[in-house]
Structure 1
Amino acid sequence: MTARRPIVVGTDGSSSSLQAVAWAAQAAALRRCPLSVIATTFVAGAYGVPIGMPTSFFEDEERNGKNRLAAAAEAATRAVPGYSLDIHTTLCTGTPAGELLERSNTAAMIVVGSSRRGIVERGFLGSVSSAVAAHARCPVAVVRSIPDTDVTQLEGSVVVGVDGSAHSEPAISMAFEEAALRQCELVAVHAWSDIDLPVHFEGGSVSGWKQIVTQETALLSESLAGRAEDFPDVKVRTMVVMDRPVRNLREQADNARLLVVGSRGRGGFTSMLLGSTSRALMHSVRCPLLIVR
């Protein structure tokens, strides 16, 4: 656990972002670390007030930004009753994604809200969550707005996706930490239908399938080895399934309080920096999604 590095969360004043703020406050309280809340606003440029806008445009924007921060600080305080949370608020002038990414160099975690309807409200939702998840230098939690549901009250297990590669190892370590902090069960899921089958697999024979299952179960056990000793109080349940990772992890997330995945993004294009599985889950799961690059 990284001591005293802050958890950073962005707010635009929407209900989605306030849910993210509340979740981030609880995460900060669990870690005994500060919470940094940021909002963005326009600043006067070389061309002055935009055409058609009142002369008080920038003053109004600054006042609204400060009001958004005050509302977020209040939401954060309500989320951790009885705990004196160290909250810092900052009104920024850069782009939302740029401000969050800059802070990812020194943050323990970045938290962003994402509307279930996919509406981009003042820039902290939708595409910004994708950009931050792809480029941040620390873990990123994406908190979706769920109708009639308070994400801070979700119960259930912490679920982690395991693919057996080095890319999932940081996610496994953080999933154990999250389960220990929340004092809940950890469900480790390994879905193997989209990986290369062994060359000696013979046309779907029973013995062939059993051998594959045995190999994939051993792979999962090897991936989890050592963590149980570091977190002896965390109960671990393993699942090895012949299924597509996105579909199976989405199903497990329906009854989870947190889903943790790694990122296997490859290639030189910005859109490919986030792996296809984590990118698909980010826009479909109901519980908070923690992406560990």
Structure 2
Amino acid sequence: MSEVLVGVFDSFEQADRAVEKLTQSGIDRSHMEVHANGRISDPLVEDPAVEQPALHTDEGPASKIARFFSNLFGNDEQPEEVGHYQEAVRRGGAVLTVTVLDEAQMRAVRSTLHEAGAVDIEERVSEWKNTGYKGYDPSAAQYSADETAAERQSFAVVRESLEVGKREVQTGGVRVYSRATATPVSEAVTLREEHATIERHPVDRIATAEDLKAASVEVRETAEHAVVSKTAHVVEEVTVGKEASERVETVNETLKGTEVEVERVEGAPSSLPGERTGPLPDTRP
């Protein structure tokens, strides 16, 4: 069973681009209609051999929308959204209706309409109500180009964000040198010496044969001298390296931005706040 999806756009040009996107995705152009102020079109037929429907010059876009949904729902009772679609066209927007044949087409069309800039009609109606809108009034005049531009005026809401990064800086260091040194030292040592001594003692005794023998005795004299030798010993090692530590630093900063306040002003509807886009509702038979 076929169903109808409805997309509301801020301009005819946006709706027309959506038609092109849908056509490129394989949707039959004869299943699409665009309703816009001063730009009313019947379904577009690709086959040039098929006669194009004539434009309805005797009715405005709001009447055309009403006729379309009357054919869809009957004349007894129409959804409230139909009046909202007519109001969107009155305010300079455009309504694109697409007939889809199955669930796969519905998902593809809904995604394409959203990407093409379709607005959330419920959010848009909520904004209109903030400025006194109570429902579609067929006797209300169409918006002029200036009124449409004023309603589309937007104010940027700016928020600064804080990004804290890290960078490495040189904070100093150490440099280690190894060089030869010479240190004078003194060391006391005890040296021993041996000297020959001769002692003579007067005696008075009779000489013996032994005394008459020739003999000799040799006594060596000795002396100790200091002998110096040096041995190098490693008494300390100096190791050069790095160790890491972490600390938490709190960064205090002031973020600048803007806020937009919406104040209700009685009078011209051109004082509406900025527009917003959102997901697309659909109307099913």
The TM-score bracket by the shorter chain reads under 0.3
- Relative contact order (C-alpha < 8 Å, sep 6+): which is higher? 2
> Larger % of strand: which?
1
Give the number of the structure whose alpha-carbon radius of gyration is greater. Answer: 2
